[in-house]
Structure 1
Amino acid sequence: MGQMEGEPHFGQEAEERWHEISRRNARSVQTTVGWIFWDPGAVARYETLGLDSTVAGPLGYIASRGAPLAPAGAQAVIAAFGTISAAGIRLTFDLLTRPEAFRDFRDARDEAVEEGLRRHAPQIVAPLCETGPALWEVVDRLPLLGRPLFGATLAMPRPRSPLLAGWHAVNLLREWRGDTHWALVAAAGLTAPEASVLHNEWLRYDDDWLSRSRGHSADEIAEGWESLTRKGLAADGRVLPAGLRLRQRIEDLTDERTALPWRLLGEPAARAFATRFEPPCTLLLTRVDETAGVRYQPASRVRSRYEDGQA
């Protein structure tokens, strides 16, 4: 992404500083939002709305997050959700049948968010309430081009609750980063199965765990491995260094090209975001460990960059 009109020019050292701020704050953004995906309070509400207990968690996540795009249909949500199972998204649409039903799941999730934040990470309440207005000013200035889920989510009604409004502002930062990331994945010529396989190996997870956790079938996973092998990015059931370098490059570019919100917020406030949000996010990540497992939400976890020769 090129320099925006009116945006100050930064030298190389300053650019690297902003990229690090972007990388660091992305973890707290992900954690502030992502813990709700597996929260029992949210899942119980999804069951009340009619989803069977065996699928309420993943399909409730699809319904609540996909609500802004639901009027455009399943294909639009599949396109926006990256590596999330297309079959799961289609099943969600088959079960809910009308876009208005997705709004009910979004409202149920928001109730669970406000209740859960106060219960599980009360230290995050003040930062969200106090930082929310400045974050809304930022998200209103972010470019929409190529970011459909962000744009659709931005158009949704804004909550009156200061806590929930702050959470939604953080969620918009997450969706803007997510849209940017998937654009980079697409530009690299990767399919959803390929991207999942690369991500799993880059995380050093085994047994195609990430692909399976996102609902990919055995056939889809096999397709991902086969196509990566044809491209020279994998061989004999292992991702080659070229594949890992590609995945690291996508991650680096994501950090670089999502520094804009933090620049707009300003460096003092961007650094204050880190110091204020990281401690309560530790509690929320512990909540993920308890409700889902320690491999879930890898974007919230500190990890080293891939370098050639690493195990």
Structure 2
Amino acid sequence: MSDAKAAELAAKCHRALDPLHSLVYFAPEADEKLAGIGLKPGRMSYFASRSAPMGPVGAGVVTATFYNFNPDLVARHIPKAWGLASPETILATRLEVADAALRRLLGDAVDSHEVAEAAELAREATAGCTPEGRPLYSAHAELDWPEQPHLALWHAITLLREFRGDGHIAALTTHDVDGLSALITHSATGRGFTEAAAKATRGWSDEQWSAGVERLREQGILDDDGELTAEGVALRERVEAATDAAATAPFTHLGEEKCLRLREIGKTLSRTVVGAGAFPATVFGK
């Protein structure tokens, strides 16, 4: 498989599979179960559950590895969360969240042959991942594999997602795009968070956002209407191309035929969870 083909498959498989992982951040089960062990619903639960594989790290580590969150927002919840629940307890609870949410959203399909097949394929793909320069992936990769196929699939997709995410941060830093600029330019593409959702979920004030927009205008990345200029579009394309290229290893390892099959099953399952209301309609879209 050529490098270009592998990069294309990496992007397509990510889009097909990612909803099956990211639904845990929106599922009502997350706030319910994580609040049950002492965490505050919302941002604290998100920061703590996603960073827990790294252990009781400080706010700086979470800010660095999550990248586009306001550091002040992270510092309000980390390391406070570790005094409320241990990383081990949080991880066990997060798996309970994934189990409950997937069972609710997939219904009878959760125990299907297709889920088991996808779990095997996704796990095989993760064997192609390497730890160098991938802190969030590496921390998650040290966790035990769940036995149930739907949870093994969720864990495998989590590994693939964090592997890609670590590579994406490397691409952003290489292209001198800081966290707020990454968020603003992604929102400007119309394929990410709305501006309002980006500010609310990432903790940036109107003033900070406006200052970030002004800097990007001065750099020629945004125009006077806050839209991407030709230079801005090219920048985002370079970042995404670098991200895809850095994410190819697991899909090269899996091979084209198996990648296409994994994508096929993933698309069907993702459509099912999206159709069942896994994500709030107000979050995405311009």
Q: TM-score, normalised by structure 2?
A: 0.88
Q: What is the correspondence of 1:228-267 to structure 2 with a 5 Å cutoff?
A: 228-238=216-226, 239-267=228-256
Q: 1:216 aligns with which of 204, 221, 224?
A: 204
Do residues 158 (structure 1) and 145 (structure 2) align? yes
Kept after mapping to 2: 8 A contact 1:193/1:211: no
> 2-side partners of 1:269 and 1:207: how far apart?
37
Do residues 73 (structure 1) and 52 (structure 2) align? no
> 2-side partners of 1:271 and 1:83: how far apart?
31
Kept after mapping to 2: 8 A contact 1:28/1:281: yes
User: Any unmatched runs of 5+ in structure 2?
Assistant: none
**Percent identity over paired residues:** 24
Counterpart of 1:278, as a letter, is K
The verdict on how the C-alpha distance between 1:85 and 1:190 changes in structure 2, with shifts beyond 3 A counting, is same
Q: 1:114 aligns with which of 99, 106, 125?
A: 99
Q: TM-score, normalised by structure 1?
A: 0.81
User: Secondary structure of the equivalent of 1:87?
Assistant: helix
Matched with 2:36 is 48
> 1-side partners of 2:7 and 2:278: how far apart?
31
The number of equivalent residue pairs is: 282
Matched with 1:60 is 45
Matched with 1:190 is 177
User: Secondary structure of the equivalent of 2:208?
Assistant: helix
Kept after mapping to 2: 8 A contact 1:233/1:240: yes
How far apart are residue 32 of structure 1 and its match?
A: 1.0
Counterpart of 1:82, as a letter, is Y
User: Secondary structure of the equivalent of 2:56?
Assistant: helix
> 1-side partners of 2:267 and 2:144: how far apart?
28
Larger deviation, residues 25-34 vs 126-135: 126-135
Matched with 1:7 is none
Counterpart of 1:234, as a letter, is L
**Over residues 28-79 of structure 1, what are the superposed CA-to-partner deviations in whole Å (9 max), with x where a residue is unaligned?**
2211101111101121112212244xxx133212111110124332211111
How far apart are residue 290 of structure 1 and its match?
A: 5.8
Kept after mapping to 2: 8 A contact 1:32/1:281: yes
Kept after mapping to 1: 8 A contact 2:44/2:81: no
Matched with 2:266 is 277
How far apart are residue 156 of structure 1 and its match?
A: 1.9
> 1-side partners of 2:96 and 2:248: how far apart?
30
Counterpart of 2:80, as a letter, is L
**Higher RCO (C-alpha under 8 Å, 6+ residues apart):** 2
**CA RMSD after TM alignment:** 2.5
